[in-house]
Structure 1
């Protein structure tokens, strides 16, 4: 199909079925349907709420979200709120499954600053294929303390979920090797266009692919990064290229008023076009990007350090994903951490020989990137993060405080083919 022949949709916002004094209540079905990804072709997909891409949940900071997921698939599933600071029972541990015909209530306190989060399947050994086939959606946590900043909002605040895909001759998705996934999707459509007004937009970019990095540019046009995984940066950062590994989020503001009506701006990856913005109309714009966004508190003193090495190896004759030389075992605790303590972890990508990329994601906590091989963090990494890209042979030091909740939580490579091969470990937060 020709690129830019379909319009990029904006995922619908999920409406609560009830509102309590301190909580919004939702329900979502997990179901297989047929969706039109390629024009005129019906493709079997897995969905939350019968939508590909899943509905966006707009939550309020300090107001709980209660959401029941009902599994209508023939396979077990579950849900992880990626970037959420939530109790262990609602974290979507890979072994906490929703079996076919079952349901599970997840409680999200939302006691964290505003940020672009996302929800996705995390069922052990099937998370990569389930996410690839459609089980992913945006969860936008809105923070009233941002309102005075004047950032673009409403219809000018757009989540854009990026991923790759492969199809067979019938139009069915093929869960093939990542190098064969050559079709790039933005909000579930291949290389779409999106009409914009000549004004500023807040674009929330989410990499929901299971394996692919995106290196994005607007043909040299400046993009102003305002936020990363855990919310607003201390100050805006001008960027002309963006690297987003699986699971990461980057928020940018693009001022389309700098371009005449009729301009077409191409958001492209190094391998091809992703999305075209068409400047088609004028609009009033009272939004702004202030010089200061959100102050970061001083880091507390760390009381422990840990070494974490990601890599591939063999267990007997079986190739496995490993953390510190061991594959995931749900019956083993790899790190015991006292509630409320602060730790520094050095995460190393040990796959130098084969030049395999990895990234690192922690459940429960946001962390701060301290350095990369002793050098300062990359541009846009100075805020709170939960997922970080690590090149072969590189070491990244991060610092986190493990507060509020006890229980079992995961840390793993978020290239999901790697995690489901065993590149996961388990921490237990204790009193």
Structure 2
């Protein structure tokens, strides 16, 4: 059975119970009841085309707009936001139907300040339930966007984010169980940049030289519409790359340093990125700045991971051009140096001081792997059950989670492990030191088949039920690779 057949078999045998809202109803343990047909995400009959007909580097890179508070109070900023279907411009001359935050294919960026509370009222204008998960956010369980805790069509909900965490590049996306893979694929994603005055004093590139870049793949039909078909291998069909919702755009840059905040929102694809011979240093990851900058020549970024880099175009001749390329799908973006600009930014030798690691009280073993019939991806040999607690954690304590990817069949199946609520440290990979870009805090980690990572996490502030899962979205959404922990007093 190859990956394509595994995906097809999983959908044809897809099971799972669907609950309208939170955690209040009961469900049978073990394998849930069969899914209703409308949740099976069967093939639409549309056929993806290999080439969407875009001439490379004829469209400029779009920078996502910024969502502004509707009201500012003494103790918090209040925003209003929507979930809605919209006709968006991805391919030149074509309107593509998308599911969006605020009517744009990439939702407007929210720039928040560390230590200052944000409250956001989301109104669901879609025809189906949806919700919001602040990926990487340290928030109360009621505001985390639990997969079963949804906003009905026509209803609204206020999420509160205390922002009591280090400045970091977070992102927000839908997390409705059985629907999150398609919802995010069709456009329900946006940046949430948590900033601080202390970080600004480092004098990294800022303002218009601090650019968020969302990189992802997709498949389009002959009419320019997004094709979502999880009965086929997405790595073989989603062959069009986008940066900030545009296919192979160009970006006019000045001959100076830029800070690029890279986010991979593909459902499955890990990208290996290269900036050619441009000097590149990684300064941050999921949970904020690294202790020290790391010079890089290639960046590996798996689904939901973030990598913060500074790229130096200084000294490059006006008219010179450089490509951001992927090893998987070729060039995704061209940089056109078209002007000079004064540059007072720097990359300090020390970016932050990491606190001493807290002492763990226990160590857990978590196994990601195929079910015995090889039609499911499970955690610890169990399918997801929203009414089962898989791990009970004491608030205020620190634990080591040894996460093992047992999927060595079919040449090894990769997984991407994400924990809600906490930022963790990567202690080691199969006993070896973590990768240089993993020296800071993270919330999402790539685990190749047959390998293990040890993670150190401290569970502070909040109690309640939180998910942990594979962030290859179909693995969790369709194939049940999700579990949940309860943090208790």
Does the TM-score normalized on the shorter chain lie above 0.5? Answer: yes
- Match of 1:292? 350
Residue of 76, 101, 112 corresponding to 1:48: 101
Aligned to 1:304: 362
User: Does 1:130 find its partner at 2:170?
Assistant: no
TM norm structure 2: 0.87
Q: 2:122 maps to which residue?
A: 69
Q: Distance in 2 between matches of 1:114 and 1:398?
A: 21
Query: How far apart are the structure 2 equivalents of 1:229 and 1:257?
Result: 27
Match of 1:146 among 191, 199, 204: 199
1:378 corresponds to 2:435: yes
**2:307 paired with 1:241:** no
Is 2:415 the partner of 1:358? yes
Q: Say if 2:290 and 2:439, in contact at 8 Å, map to a contact too.
A: yes
Counterpart in the other structure of 2:381: 325
- Per the TM alignment, residue 152 of structure 1 is displaced from its structure 2 partner at its CA by 0.7
Map Cα deviations across residues 16-51 of structure 1 (whole Å, 9 max, x no partner).
100011211111110001111000011000110111
Aligned counterparts of 1:209 and 1:20: Cα–Cα separation in 2: 36
Unpaired stretches in structure 1, ≥5 consecutive residues: none
Partner SS state of residue 476, structure 2:
helix
How far apart, CA to CA, are the structure 2 residues paired with 1:192 and 1:293?
32
1:397 to 449, 454, 463: 454
Structure with the largest fraction of strand = 1
Q: CA deviation at 1:220?
A: 3.6
Helix, strand or coil for the counterpart of 1:380? helix
**Distance in 2 between residues matched to 1:263 and 1:71, nearest whole Å:** 46
- Equivalent residue number for residue 49 of structure 2: none
- Distance in 1 between residues matched to 2:276 and 2:56, nearest whole Å: 17
| DSSP-derived class of the 1:89 partner | helix
Distance 1:374 1:3 in 2: 44
| CA distances 1:190-249 after superposition (whole Å, capped 9, x unpaired) | 011100111111100001111110100012433110000000000000001000000000
Q: 1:318 Cα shift? A: 8.3
Spell out structure 1 runs of 4+ moving beyond 3 A: none
Per the alignment, residue 425 of structure 1 pairs with 483
Give aligned pairs, total.
Answer: 429
After the TM superposition, which of the residue ranges 273-282 and 332-341 deviates more from structure 2? 273-282
> What are structure 2's unaligned runs of at least 5 residues?
1-53
In 2, Cα distance between equivalents of 1:356 and 1:70: 38
> What's the CA shift for 1:359?
0.9
Matched, 1:37 2:95: no
Pick from 178, 184, 187: which aligns with 2:244? 187
- The Cα shift of 1:5 comes to 1.4
How many angstroms does 1:312 deviate by?
A: 2.0
Please identify, of 141-150 and 241-250, the stretch whose mean Cα deviation from structure 2 is larger: 141-150
Matched ranges for 1:143-292 at <5 A: 143-176=196-229, 177-178=233-234, 179-270=236-327, 271-292=329-350
| Structure 1 residue 313 displacement after superposition | 1.6
| Equivalent position of 2:395 in the other structure | 339
Q: Aligned-pair distance for 1:377?
A: 0.4
Cross-structure match for 2:404: 348
For 1:111, the equivalent position in structure 2 comes to 164
Looking at structure 1, the residues matched to 277 and 330 of structure 2 have their Cα atoms a distance apart, in angstroms, of: 15
- 8 A Cα contact 2:278 2:312, kept in partner: no
- CA RMSD in angstroms comes to 1.0
The answer to which of 394-403 and 253-262 deviates more is 253-262
Q: Secondary structure at the match of 1:196?
A: strand
Given that 2:139 and 2:162 are in contact with CA atoms closer than 8 Å, whether structure 1 keeps it comes out as yes
Counterpart check, 1:410 vs 2:463: no
